[in-house]
Amino acid sequence: MKDIKMRIAKSSRGFSLLELMIASTLGIMVILAMTMLFRQGMNTTFMVTQRAETQQNLRAAIELMTKDLSMAGAGLPSGGLQLATSNGVTKVACNQTGTCYVPGAVYPNGNYMTGILPGFANGVQNNAVIVNAPAATNDSITSIYCDYNFPLSNFSFTFPNSTQATVGVVNGAVTPNNILAPGGLNVGDLMLFTVTTPGNGTGSQGTSVAQTAVAVAEITGLPSNTRINFTLGDALNFNQAGANGIATVAAAYVAGTTITVCRLNAVTYFLQVPPAGGTVQTPRLMRQVNGLTAVPVADNIINLQFSYDIINSVAGNMSANQSNPIAAGLSPALIQKVNIWVMGQGLLTEGNKAQSMYLASSVSARNMSFCNSYSASTTVCQ
């Protein structure tokens, strides 16, 4: 009986060391495989999320630029207008504190304003270097149009002197206070004045010919809801003495004249690299209006490029994809289409987690000058 019990005890043994090592190794391999699959799944999810966020930023940038560019030239005289030149060049994209966001940007061709102002290779504030950006230029662009969301037809304007306008109302539906309501006029806004005087009978066969004075002025002060100041020496240098300045319009306005007024939106898009130490370090797309402070539109934008389909009035054909039409001797007033390329980058840039992509679009400049290239003799633009 004793021998039977001993044999039973001897047969009840555990795993050997070799079996335990094999089982442990297999278990670890299974766990490692599951961990790698989980990590790959998380990385894929993260990359997809980054791409979605980058695409969302790019779409937001493209949509806002498309809206402004599609309005370019609306309300401006056909072919643009000559600004004052008595006190030098007129600036683009500067705020009231003297900060100019776009390097060296001024109105081209002797202070001539058109609906679109190309800004070739000057698209980064302070010419800052954008890390991880492609070896390509960065451009800015300015779109100029009347702000029809803020109509001024219910207000009347008179000029007690050459640097001030008096605001009244056309009917009782509004009060002068409305002009300063939220969304109304601000210091730094641009105003387009067009004064039309009655005909003077100097046309052919004694017909009446109306005279028109047009000028753009920058608001420098709003002392009351019935006064607007246009003091000389404004931030953008619009308020100049002499021809084509606000003084020309003030002198032309007398009893019997017709005056139309609109607030202009001169909208500039450019890239900004915030200085070190700030809460935001990544490059971003900025939008600046008139003489106001620029605001961010989309983060992680590392490249911004534009080209233009523009009519060559001399050759009588379309010059497509012109990146620098002004340097090529082409008039920006004849731009027919704007081609946009925007490059965005994901939030993280380490190793293979970095995500960069382009988004391209084109905008028809429907309010710019029209040229008839099918004319019998030469191209006719209007």
Quick: pLDDT tens for 123-172.
Answer: 999 998 887 777 778 999 999 999 998 888 888 898 999 899 998 887 66
Most confident of 7-21, 163-177, 227-241: 227-241
Cα–chain center distance at 37: 44
- Other CB atoms within a 10 A radius of the CB of residue 128 amount to 15
Q: Examine the pLDDT at 206 and tell me if it is beyond 70.
A: no
The 10 Å CB-count burial string (b at 16+, else e) for 159-181 is beebbbbebebeeeeeebebbbe
Cα–chain center distance at 247: 30
Q: Which of 84-88, 132-136, 338-342 has the lowest average pLDDT?
A: 132-136
What is the enclosing helix (H) or strand (E) of 322? strand 317-322
User: Which regions of 72-169 does DSSP assign to beta strands (E)?
Assistant: 81-82, 112-113, 116-119, 140-146, 155-161, 164-169
Q: Give residue 212's pLDDT.
A: 84
Report pLDDT digits (tens) over 18-73.
777 888 888 888 888 888 887 777 666 666 666 777 788 888 899 999 999 999 99
Tell me if 268 sits within 8 A of 290, measured CB to CB: no
User: What band does 201 get if pLDDT is binned at 50, 70 and 90?
Assistant: very low
User: What percent of the chain stands above pLDDT 70?
Assistant: 81
Q: Which of 30-34, 284-288, 338-342 has the lowest average pLDDT?
A: 30-34
Beta pairing class for 221-224 and 155-161: unpaired
Rounded CA gap, 207 and 29, in Å? Answer: 98
Q: Which of 135-144, 194-203, 245-254 has the lowest average pLDDT?
A: 194-203
Q: Which of 157-161, 201-205, 358-362 has the lowest average pLDDT?
A: 201-205
Q: Give residue 49's pLDDT.
A: 67
Q: 108-111, long-range: CB within 8 Å, 24+ apart, which pairs?
A: 108/326, 108/332, 109/326, 109/331, 110/82, 110/85, 111/82, 111/83, 111/84, 111/85
CA distances from 197 to 191, 241, 243, 254, 345 (A): 19, 21, 17, 8, 55
Mean pLDDT rounded to a whole number for the chain = 83
Q: Examine the pLDDT at 379 and tell me if it is beyond 80.
A: no
Rounded CA gap, 368 and 115, in Å? Answer: 7
What is the enclosing helix (H) or strand (E) of 221? strand 221-224
Q: Give residue 354's pLDDT.
A: 64
Tell me if 283 sits within 8 A of 275, measured CB to CB: no
Q: Which of 111-115, 140-144, 296-300 has the lowest average pLDDT?
A: 296-300
User: What band does 200 get if pLDDT is binned at 50, 70 and 90?
Assistant: low
Q: Give residue 48's pLDDT.
A: 65
Q: Give residue 340's pLDDT.
A: 96
Torsion of CA 341, 326, 114, 105, to 10 degrees: 80
Q: Examine the pLDDT at 351 and tell me if it is beyond 70.
A: no
Q: What is the mean pLDDT of residues 209-221?
A: 86
3-state secondary structure of 337: strand
Q: What is the mean pLDDT of residues 326-354?
A: 82
Query: pTM of the predicted model, to two decimals?
Result: 0.83
Rounded CA gap, 295 and 142, in Å? Answer: 15
Q: Examine the pLDDT at 207 and tell me if it is beyond 60.
A: no
User: What band does 313 get if pLDDT is binned at 50, 70 and 90?
Assistant: confident
User: What percent of the chain stands above pLDDT 90?
Assistant: 45
Rounded CA gap, 189 and 222, in Å? Answer: 11
